[in-house]
Amino acid sequence: MLRVGMKAPDFTLQDKEGRPVSLSDFRGRRVVLYFYPKDNTPGCTRQACAFAGAYQAFRERNVEVIGISKDSISSHQRFADKYNLPFILLADPELQAIQAYEVWQEKKLYGKVSMGVVRTTFLIDENGILEQIMPKVKPDTNASEILAALAASENTKGGST
């Protein structure tokens, strides 16, 4: 079971252009890693658009935003183009990172049980350590909650925004 303080599982997945991206590529920077169920669905679109709207605030803090779902590279490309998403979307059809981060879980919807991605966000520090784990986040407030957590940690560390 993943816990705050543990090393974040590394992975290499393809982005919407088909280029390989590894978590370890971002050493020296904090990373917001968010897992979501499916491109172009209402909740996932609201979550992605909220991250897009807050993206400049993340960049100002030298924080990279990465979204992962099991959708294909082409699906991510259409999703990013349709909503002008400026951050990295990674395709994980083989569930490599999804399973490593333990977000592939049993879900219940209208009495039906199935396996799927549980919307979860991880804040990873500059050294690749899990700094915060936010399970079952709300799509509309996830980005602002992460920004608030970043601001709070900057204040406690005496950093500036």
Catalytic residue list: 44
Burial of 4 (0-12, 13-18, 19+ CB in 10 A): exposed
Query: For residues 35 and 14, what is the distance between their CA atoms, to the nearest angstrom?
Result: 15
Give strand ranges (E) for the chain.
12-15, 20-22, 30-35, 63-69, 88-91, 104-109, 112-117, 120-124, 130-135
User: Six-digit token pair at 80?
Assistant: 């990013």
* Residue in the structure block whose two tokens are 């709300």: 138
C-beta neighbour count of 42 within 10 angstroms: 8
For Cα atoms 11, 44, 80, give the angle at the middle one, nearest 5 degrees. 70
Residue 161 belongs to what H/E stretch? Answer: none
